Chains A and B, each alone.
Chain A
Amino acid sequence: MRPEHWLFAIPLRLRSLFRWAQADQELNDELRDHLERKTEEYVAKGMTQEEAQRRARLDLSGIEQTKEKCRDARGVNWIQGLIQDVRYGLRVLRKSPGFTIVAVLTLALGIGANTAIFSVIEAVLLRPLPYKEPSHVVLVADRQEPKGGGFLYKDFEAWKSQVRSFENMAAYYRDSGICRVTLTAGGEPESVQGAFVSSEFFRTLGVQPQLGRFFNSDEEAHRAHVVVLSHGLWLRRFGASVDVLGKELQIDSAEWEIIGVMPATFAFPNKDQQFWAPITTNRSWQEAALTTNIDPSNTRLFFARWILVGRLKSAVTVSQAQTEIDSLIARLNQSDPDKNRAPLAVTPLGVHLSGNTGLALFVLSAAVLFVLLIACSNVANLALARGAGREREMAVRAALGASRARLTCQLFTESALLALASGILGLALAAFGLRALIAFAPGDIPRLNEARLDASVLAFTIGISLLAAILFGLLPAWKASQRDPQESLKSAARGPGAPVSLKRTRDVLVVAEFAMAIILLTGAGLLVRSFLAVQSVDLGFQPEQVLAMRITMPAGTPQSRVLALHDEVLERLATLPDVKAVGAISDLFELGGVGNLGLRAIDGHVPEPPDKWTPLIWQSVSGDYFQAMGASLLRGRWFTSQDGPNSPLVAVIDENMARRYWPNEDPLGKRFKGQDPRGHNDDWVTAVGVVRNMRRNGLERESVPHVFQWYKQCEPADLRSSAPPDLVVRTTGDPLRAAASLRALVRSLDATAILSSVTTMKEQLSEQLSPRRFQTSLLGLFSLMALVLAVVGMFALLHYSVAQRTHEIGVRIALGAQRNQVLRQVLCEGLRLAVAGVVIGILGAVALTRLISSLLFGVRATDPASFATVAGLLILVALLACYVPARRAMRVDPMVALRYE
């Protein structure tokens, strides 16, 4: 439109908008004036006064309609219409508080659940990582499971200059145990997680320090003791002071210089590391470099300990990078065969970080979407029922000149108002839900703590509320607009009675609700069964009444002192009155990846080539570890005090180990040599006992062959402390009650000892279950919501249909129908719908549960028992939902019903 046009149009439109009353009055006057003149004209032509008036009005083809057309022509009608609709809608909703409250609550549940889950998905999966061009960052790591392997640090140093797909490449230590250190900065020593990374690390990720600088390649080469603090550590230990740079910090009893501080958003590679230091300053690297003559960068010893993070060049794809890495590995394996590098996988960092949470979150978001759909169809059903009651109102308005579009628009405005109110309430629910969700979630969901209700979540809520309004509002509005007003006026005069098509629509909605509820419940049922299956897994030990704790000594404590304290602790703890058995092991559980290991020599077998190796766990134990765990000895004996550094080397192996190497032989007395090139590995170790398999490497994973060695027979120069740090204490009473006295005792023996993760064994196991518990209970909660909503929907449908047919039922009873017949009829009506929903739902569930089969444990995705249980449950609750309306129908008093007209 031309600008000068607006000069006229805008004031006029504003006038029509804001001085609506006056504009309308003028319109009235104008038309009245016209009518008068026209009447005069007709009278002049010889008509009677009445006839002339009638003709004049006829010429105008309906005064109200013409007025409405004129208002439309003024162009602001829709705004007025909207304002009118909103005011009218509010009034209507206020007048039927029951409907409004039920609808708003129902929708708010759906919207709130969706919003909460979306904010999690947004934080965990959608929000870009806080790095420069995060889509170009990839991880290059060995495929730990099922095949282990790795590369040499020297390989990485060579690749840095060779690779063409990568702009930058950096290495960091994978093993979090090796990266755990004792940190002292004023105050008490604490055991913290650090990150040991190569100097290109920060450039590769494209991050800047908040304060100070990063270390450079010189510092890396010289193993300089410099650290970059995490934002958290800086706050906690240094009060966020700016002059922290250049200050000293004690890590493992050595002095380190603080050179930088990272921003709060940066948490990589782990969620909880407190600092970043040069990769060459890691304890294992230092010790290898100092105590052995091995170059740490050129040894198999360090296999599988590094992960590479790389930045791809802008035009390079992940698969191109993968091809290049594959060829590099192949070339090295050809030129240097005995180092046998394993294949490495290139994975986008985002994919790596979200890992398994992707599927679980996808399932949860599908579940909440279903809940919302059910909520919408419930409200649509309510609105349809109300629409039928308001037919007369609509018919009158249509007769008074309201267009079909206008009526639809008004009904839709009501829906939008409902959705808006639900959206606001839903947002509040989501805020609570999200807080509960974060508190309840397992620690392994990356970036979950960043989830919050921000602008994008708000936009999502608004969007989904509008979507809901369309879903539940459009159908009733459309149905209402389809009715012929004349027909409605007539039938409304006859009394209520829903048309058949409306009834069918409502039936379809209830069937759909049941179908969706079935799908959700089946999924939840399968997860619950998996959960129970995991819980009843044969552990191979007795976790009740067992306390676990970790005792470490500050680095730099002489090995002899560590050992002496260990022995003292075991001895003294065992004398406490409520302690039954005390022992220790190098790692309480083995929940990370388990590397493939081979044996150098096996009695009666040739050693296997590396590609035949399988995962193997080698642990050292002390004290009465097995007794404290409640493990069962199948053959042979436990370790005794006769086993010492100078007696023949012995081992207790588990069933898996026995079956793996001596499948049809007696494993007792069989000898083998370990793989590790240091220590006793050149000596034969003799199996003296076979213990039942223990689920030490994860409840849901097949247990792996184990070799347990006696701690006194481990070489003190071993990189691992020869005193196993993880203490296991079996008590007579509540293990936590014993914790305090155990703690005090250790403290009294050595005040520098660091006690950490003091928990019960039960708690440790429960912690391992927490991701599964999280998924299961959330899906369970959502499917319960779906069930309740579906049942409420069924109840409302039947209740309404009985109320509508009170008259008919009354007549039938008056004519001699049996009350039982009436009851049965209503029950059958509901049951028919429930069965239809169940059948459709089961078909849907068969198709959909397959998607979650990787989340299941010990139960198939098409488990007939779960399906049958859910179907039975649903039909049962459907019957209950039908029963109340059916009773009401049965009790209809014919006299009252007939008078009701």
Chain B
Amino acid sequence: MLVSVTEDMDMSEPSDLVQDTLDMLLLKILALEPMNGFAVSQRLKQVSGDVLQVSDGSLYPALHKLEQEGWITAEWKTSEYGRRAKYYSLTRLGRRQLEKEADNWGRLSSAISRVIKLKEA
């Protein structure tokens, strides 16, 4: 079986995301469309090209925390395959929170990249 680079990296647990960053990513993903927990984990892997690995064990507590904060809301829906699943969607508060965090992130990452790009003497 092919062992991907990222799976190798997984052994050294590189991407245990900082809680705030994980919150932001989850909010962003749910901003695109309401989905269930499993789909969220798939989507995370997909969009980040497997770089960002969030273990299922931390995903669900994170989702429950966001729900508790009132940023996302959940409802039980029957899925396309006739299965009942818990669908999370962004609330108005969550959208505002996402904007705020995205702003912060933008500022932070551009600042960091500016520093990184400094030429060595």
Contacts and interface: CB of A to CB of B under 8 A. Distances in A.
B67 interface: yes
Contacts of B55: 59-61
Contacts of B83: 33
Contact of A61 (B37, B57, B84): B57
A34 B56 contact: yes
B82 interface: no
Contact of B60 (A5, A13, A66): A66
Contact of B38 (A8, A13, A34, A72): A34
A65 B56 contact: no
B6 interface: no
A5 B70 contact: yes
B76 to A, nearest CB: 8
B75 to A, nearest CB: 11
Interface in A68-86: 69-70, 72-75
B86 A30 contact: yes
A69 B84 CA distance: 23
Contacts of A12: 67-68, 70
A9 interface: yes
A33 B61 contact: no
A358 to B, nearest CB: 55
B57 A30 contact: no
Given A34-B56, A66-B57, A74 B38 contact: no
A164 interface: no
A69 B58 CA distance: 8
Interface in B52-86: 55-58, 60-62, 64-65, 67-70, 73, 76, 83-86
B93 A5 contact: yes
Given A8-B91, A66-B61, A69-B61, A33 B36 contact: yes
Given A33-B36, A61-B56, A70 B70 contact: no
B57 A9 contact: no
B84 A29 contact: yes
Contacts of A73: 61-62, 64-65, 68
A73 B67 CA distance: 9
Contacts of B68: 9, 12-13, 73-75
B13 to A, nearest CB: 12
Contacts of B67: 12
Interface in A14-38: 26-27, 29-31, 33-34, 37-38
B57 A65 contact: yes
Contacts of B86: 26, 29-30, 33
15 contacts: A12-B68, A29-B84, A30-B36, A30-B37, A30-B86, A33-B37, A34-B38, A37-B38, A59-B55, A59-B57, A66-B61, A69-B57, A69-B61, A73-B68, A74-B64
A9 B70 contact: yes
A62 B57 contact: yes
Contacts of A75: 68
A424 B85 CA distance: 51
Contact of A34 (B37, B64, B76, B91): B37
Contacts of A70: 60-61, 64
Nearest to A10: B70
Query: Which of B60, B84, B86 lies at the interface centre, i.e. has the most chain A CB atoms within 10 A of its CB?
Result: B60
A34 B69 contact: no
Interface residues of A, number: 28
Interface in B10-60: 36-38, 55-58, 60
Interface in B64-120: 64-65, 67-70, 73, 76, 83-86, 91, 93
Contacts of A62: 57
Nearest to A11: B70
Contacts of A37: 38
Contacts of B70: 4-5, 7-9, 12
**Main DSSP-derived SS at the A contact region:** helix
A465 B65 CA distance: 36
A72 B84 CA distance: 25
Interface of A: 4-5, 7-9, 12-13, 26-27, 29-31, 33-34, 37-38, 59-62, 65-66, 69-70, 72-75
Contacts of A4: 70, 93
Nearest to A37: B38
Contacts of A8: 69-70, 73, 91, 93
Interface of B: 36-38, 55-58, 60-62, 64-65, 67-70, 73, 76, 83-86, 91, 93
A9 B72 CA distance: 11
A705 B41 CA distance: 102
A393 B91 CA distance: 44
A544 B108 CA distance: 98
B43 to A, nearest CB: 13
A69 B69 CA distance: 15
Q: Which 9 A-B pairs have the closest CB atoms?
A: A8-B70, A61-B57, A69-B61, A73-B65, A73-B64, A37-B38, A70-B64, A59-B56, A60-B56
Nearest to B71: A8
A62 B58 CA distance: 11
B38 A5 contact: no
Nearest to A45: B1
B30 to A, nearest CB: 15
B96 to A, nearest CB: 10
Contact of A33 (B38, B65, B69, B91): B38
B58 to A, nearest CB: 8
A31 B65 CA distance: 15
Given A12-B70, A65-B57, 4 more contacts: A8-B73, A9-B68, A34-B37, A69-B61
Contact of A38 (B56, B69, B73, B93): B56
Nearest to B62: A73
Nearest to A72: B61
B60 A9 contact: no
A663 B53 CA distance: 107
A683 to B, nearest CB: 102
B110 to A, nearest CB: 28
B60 A31 contact: yes
A73 B36 CA distance: 18
B103 to A, nearest CB: 18
Nearest to B36: A33
A73 B62 CA distance: 7
Contacts of A61: 55-57
A109 to B, nearest CB: 46
B66 to A, nearest CB: 9
Contacts of B37: 30, 33-34
A30 B60 contact: yes
A59 B38 CA distance: 12
A31 B61 CA distance: 11
A41 to B, nearest CB: 8
A58 to B, nearest CB: 9
A504 to B, nearest CB: 40
Contacts of B58: 69
Given A9-B70, A13-B68, A38 B38 contact: yes
A59 B84 CA distance: 22
Contact of A9 (B38, B56, B69, B85): B69
Nearest to A57: B56
B23 to A, nearest CB: 12
A62 B38 CA distance: 16
B71 to A, nearest CB: 8
A66 B54 CA distance: 14
B9 to A, nearest CB: 16
B57 A34 contact: no
A537 to B, nearest CB: 77
A70 B38 CA distance: 15
Query: Which of B68, B76, B83 lies at the interface centre, i.e. has the most chain A CB atoms within 10 A of its CB?
Result: B68
A33 B85 contact: yes
A62 B55 CA distance: 11
A31 to B, nearest CB: 7
Contacts of A13: 68
B94 to A, nearest CB: 10
A900 B45 CA distance: 59
A34 B61 CA distance: 13
Nearest to A76: B68
